[in-house]
Structure 1
Amino acid sequence: MADIRILLNDRSVGELKPPNSGQYRARDTQLKGFHVVVGTRTKTFAVQGDLRKDGRRVASISVRIGDVTAMSTREARATAKSHLAQIAKGEHPEPKTSNPTTLRARALLGTDSNERRDVTSNSIALRQAWERYRDAHLIRKGRSAGTIEGYRDHIERLFKDWLDLPLQILAEDPGKVIARHDQITTEHGPYIANGSMRTLRAVYNHARKAHRHLPTDNPASAVDWNCEQRRSTAMGLNDLPHWFQQVAALPNPIRREFHLLSLLSGSRPTALMEAKLHHLDLRRRVLHIPRPKGGAERAFDIPLSRQMVLCLLRVIRFGRHFYPHEANQWLFPSDSASGHLAEQKEARHVLAKWGNDLRQTFRTLATSAGVSEFDARLLMNHAIPGVNAGYISRHKLLEHHLRTQQQAISDTIFCSIGELAWNDQEIGSWLGPRASQRALYRARIGA
């Protein structure tokens, strides 16, 4: 297959088709020498340039940067620029190699091809690489505490015995990484195994920006990734009456309202648990989420339907009664160390669906409510694919259009329970007229 010229980015690289046999190169239209080598099974970032001495061309070399699954196009382009700058100076980017062409080029340039640096002795260890990645990348970019904790758990628990191991050793012996992936798969499951390897891959790529002696091939790219299937745990309209009955039977009224708001908003549980009282603007009927998944730059407002406003009013009343001190700050207060609801899990026999199940349910029922996929993405703060994303001003749609769509979803959910709010005693004591006032009265008198 003949070589092609395209603008290399994550999308275009992902769309490159493998040849039936052999390989071809997709050359970047912006950065001369930067390209992707596309084989039948792999795609590899690389640079190509001419080594010169005293103005004369010594050799044409091609240097691998890394597998496309191990780094983004932006990272590969930055590395390519660095490599091309070295080549322009007559220096070979690879610190050591056994490639005959490269060895010949080094000899012609007057470089001792047998010279080898003892990079292992001063190579950065996994512990230092992780701490640098955590502080300079995760914390500085405003990633949520839950995201940082997930990365920390992978590195400090699953790779605990590797913390003082130089990354150079892992890079030169990817068999260690393959064996660890297999071990984690057996002991903890395929999803955690894949997730831990993604973390290791990210830490290694970040470390290599400052430690160019590390090999370009990421050791995590050697693993055979476990198959992952999206878990389908959403409820349909017919499942909601039973779910409402289960929620109504929960003894803690704040947890009841939390699960209901999770369903009505489709929000990630952590975002709601960490919501503060001043994030709620009842005049504009929005709940501000300042640090969702993705960090502060993804902050957004959730438009509130009538049912969501009533839910929040109830939880504020209950919070002020049961946790008066914590309720001054948190929307979902509790007696936890943080002062807010810290655990949203329920026993499955007590409540069949919670957490991400409700997020999937929201997305499913949005279709039943006639809400478009585009609007559902905006309501859930999902990224909008394609070039149109940069032209969307979400806040301009918030006050009217998105709130109308939110109201349609809430109406669909509550219509599914029909007359249960009046006919079912527990649901009626939760959602019926003046139910919260009666509940607070019973709580005050200890009934």
Structure 2
Amino acid sequence: MNDIRIPLSDKNIAQLSTPSDGWYLARDTELKGFFVVVGKRKRTFTVQGDLRQGGKRASSIRVSIGDTRELTTRAARAIAKEYLAQISRGQHPKKAKQDGDTGPGPVGNEANTDVATVTLRQAWQRYLEAHLIRKGRSEKTISGYRDHVERLFAEWLDTSLGELAIDPARVAKKHDDITNENGPYIANGCMRTLRAIYNHACKTNRSLPRDNPADAVDWNEEKRRDTGMGASDLTEWFRELAALENSVRREFHLLTLLCGSRTAALQQVKPCHVDFRRRTLRGRKRAFDIPLSREMILCLIRAIRFGRQMYPLQSRKWIFPGDSESGHLAETKEDRDTLSKWGNDLRQTFRTIATAAGVSEFDAKLLMNHSIPGVNAGYVTRHKLLEDHLRSQQQAIGTAVFCAIGKMLTKDAALRDWLGRCASRVAGGRQMKRGDLGEAQDRIRPAA
């Protein structure tokens, strides 16, 4: 087979075809001289560069880095950069290792001392402040990392990262123990956290070993949870939702279904984020406005009214107020016996209903504010699609959701009282008018 050029990644390498005979090279498009030798039985990370002596090219050498089954592409690329730097200085990487040259950074006892001082606790604190907080990661994300480090890795907090790096079997055993005690998904998540913290620490501690200790882990297989509903499941779910005692929580779950947003983002929606005149809801990240269908608008109006009735003080700041310390809904999980689907189940349902409603995969990703892969996606101006195209797609999904419950909207007393045309279960006993969006906008302005 002929050599190829691709962006080397774990996924792309796994998809490379195996030659029927001989071998071929898959060269990296990002780092010149870095490639994978693809053979019938194994695939090897390799670098190639020109050794120079006296400013002249003496020879071209290839140096193997390691088997792709034992190294991640990220780790191999880091090693490749160091090898290529040594080659450019006229040093053979393998010979430099034999002679005791560890490359850039401290060597000998000085290196060991530096490694010993970088504990997991110190590396975590820097990662928390310099990466997670500085980049505006959500409280939920930070809480997940903190749980991994401070609870599941508590016994390692004062252990140096260097000790973990030179004893990868210890890390692999920890992964096995967490798998048995806490489950495969949490075990994988913990090791991803450790891998991220170690890689971040390597940026400011050049004496740390290049190999990430988390690379020794045999990862548990993970399958996407398939918990979304189809159109035929919505009738029973709406009955369950109508029976919820807390009206604010009821509207929260309905809006999650209608827009497919993450619960953490919707929890922090403020009245000033809603523009009823433009029919948009401002997203927290990427400065993206979510188009509102008619059903979403009515849901938001009800949420505002119920919130003002139940939580007069908190509703001045939040669309979905609550008794939490923050003043908004902080915990949106329900008893499965009370409400069978919530949270990410509703995001999956949104995506499922969108497909049934004829919404394209590209449009569905835009509506859910997902990143769009590929160069061409960078030329799509989202807000230019908002006014007409995306709003019509959003409306198609909302219509499909309510068509699925059909006549139940008028036959079921609880649903009729909640969602019917003459619904009066609103703050102050005032009826809700479907078309009066301007009046609704004026009413929420004082709370913004």
TM norm structure 1: 0.85
- For residue 310 of structure 1, report the CA deviation from its aligned partner: 0.4
Aligned letter for 2:35? Answer: H
Within 2, Cα distance between the matches of 1:368 and 1:29?
39
**Number of the residue aligned with 1:362:** 350
Cα 1:263–1:439 change in 2 (3 A) is same
Within 2, Cα distance between the matches of 1:149 and 1:434?
43
Within 2, Cα distance between the matches of 1:382 and 1:118?
46
Aligned letter for 1:35? Answer: F
Indicate which of 85, 108, 112 corresponds to 1:120: 112
Q: Give the fraction of aligned pairs with identical amino acids, expressed as a percent.
A: 57
Q: Does structure 2 conserve the Cα–Cα contact (< 8 Å) formed by 1:66 and 1:218?
A: no
More off after superposition, 205-214 vs 400-409: 205-214
Within 2, Cα distance between the matches of 1:160 and 1:40?
44
**Number of the residue aligned with 1:8:** 7
- For residue 190 of structure 1, report the CA deviation from its aligned partner: 0.7
Indicate which of 173, 186, 196 corresponds to 1:179: 173
**Number of the residue aligned with 2:433:** none
Within 2, Cα distance between the matches of 1:23 and 1:223?
28
Gaps of 5+ in 1: 94-98, 292-297, 443-447
More off after superposition, 60-69 vs 205-214: 60-69
TM norm structure 2: 0.84
Q: Does structure 2 conserve the Cα–Cα contact (< 8 Å) formed by 1:65 and 1:80?
A: no
**Number of the residue aligned with 1:49:** 49
Q: Does structure 2 conserve the Cα–Cα contact (< 8 Å) formed by 1:66 and 1:217?
A: no
- For residue 321 of structure 1, report the CA deviation from its aligned partner: 1.6
Within 1, Cα distance between the matches of 2:213 and 2:40?
21
**Number of the residue aligned with 1:96:** none
Q: Does structure 2 conserve the Cα–Cα contact (< 8 Å) formed by 1:65 and 1:217?
A: no
More off after superposition, 253-262 vs 42-51: 42-51
Gaps of 5+ in 2: 431-448
Within 1, Cα distance between the matches of 2:287 and 2:71?
28
**Number of the residue aligned with 1:26:** 26
**Number of the residue aligned with 2:241:** 247
- For residue 197 of structure 1, report the CA deviation from its aligned partner: 1.2
- For residue 179 of structure 1, report the CA deviation from its aligned partner: 0.5
Q: Secondary structure at the match of 2:202?
A: helix
Matched, 1:17 2:11: no
**Number of the residue aligned with 2:331:** 343
**Number of the residue aligned with 1:319:** 307
**Number of the residue aligned with 1:196:** 190
Q: Does structure 1 conserve the Cα–Cα contact (< 8 Å) formed by 2:305 and 2:426?
A: no
Aligned letter for 1:89? Answer: R
Indicate which of 397, 405, 413 corresponds to 1:425: 413
Q: Secondary structure at the match of 1:6?
A: strand
Q: Secondary structure at the match of 1:121?
A: helix
Within 2, Cα distance between the matches of 1:67 and 1:211?
25
- For residue 163 of structure 1, report the CA deviation from its aligned partner: 1.5
Indicate which of 256, 260, 266 corresponds to 1:266: 260
Matched, 1:409 2:410: no
Cα 1:69–1:359 change in 2 (3 A) is farther
Aligned letter for 2:49? Answer: G
Aligned letter for 1:211? Answer: N
Aligned letter for 2:334? Answer: E
Within 1, Cα distance between the matches of 2:304 and 2:228?
28
- For residue 152 of structure 1, report the CA deviation from its aligned partner: 1.8
- For residue 213 of structure 1, report the CA deviation from its aligned partner: 2.8
Cα 1:30–1:354 change in 2 (3 A) is closer
- For residue 51 of structure 1, report the CA deviation from its aligned partner: 4.7
Q: Does structure 1 conserve the Cα–Cα contact (< 8 Å) formed by 2:199 and 2:212?
A: yes
Aligned letter for 1:62? Answer: V
Matched, 1:169 2:163: yes
Q: Does structure 2 conserve the Cα–Cα contact (< 8 Å) formed by 1:194 and 1:226?
A: yes
**Number of the residue aligned with 1:294:** none
Indicate which of 395, 406, 415 corresponds to 2:383: 395
- For residue 331 of structure 1, report the CA deviation from its aligned partner: 0.8
Aligned letter for 1:33? Answer: G
Within 1, Cα distance between the matches of 2:77 and 2:403?
53
Aligned letter for 2:7? Answer: L
Cα 1:264–1:77 change in 2 (3 A) is same
Matched, 1:386 2:374: yes
Encode CA deviations 1:153-196: one digit per residue, 9 max, x unaligned. 11221111112212122121111111011111111111111111
Q: Secondary structure at the match of 1:348?
A: coil
Aligned letter for 1:227? Answer: E
Aligned letter for 1:218? Answer: N
Within 2, Cα distance between the matches of 1:21 and 1:214?
40
**Number of the residue aligned with 2:283:** 289
Q: Secondary structure at the match of 1:375?
A: helix
Cα 1:60–1:210 change in 2 (3 A) is farther
Cα 1:204–1:263 change in 2 (3 A) is same
Within 2, Cα distance between the matches of 1:265 and 1:372?
15
Calculate the aligned-residue CA RMSD, in Å: 3.0
Q: Does structure 2 conserve the Cα–Cα contact (< 8 Å) formed by 1:314 and 1:436?
A: no
- For residue 217 of structure 1, report the CA deviation from its aligned partner: 2.3
**Number of the residue aligned with 1:445:** none
- For residue 347 of structure 1, report the CA deviation from its aligned partner: 0.5
Cα 1:42–1:284 change in 2 (3 A) is farther
Cα 1:322–1:17 change in 2 (3 A) is same
Encode CA deviations 1:366-405: one digit per residue, 9 max, x unaligned. 1111111111111111222333211211111111111101
Q: Where does 1:75-86 land on structure 2 (aligned, <5 Å)?
A: 80-81=80-81, 83-86=83-86
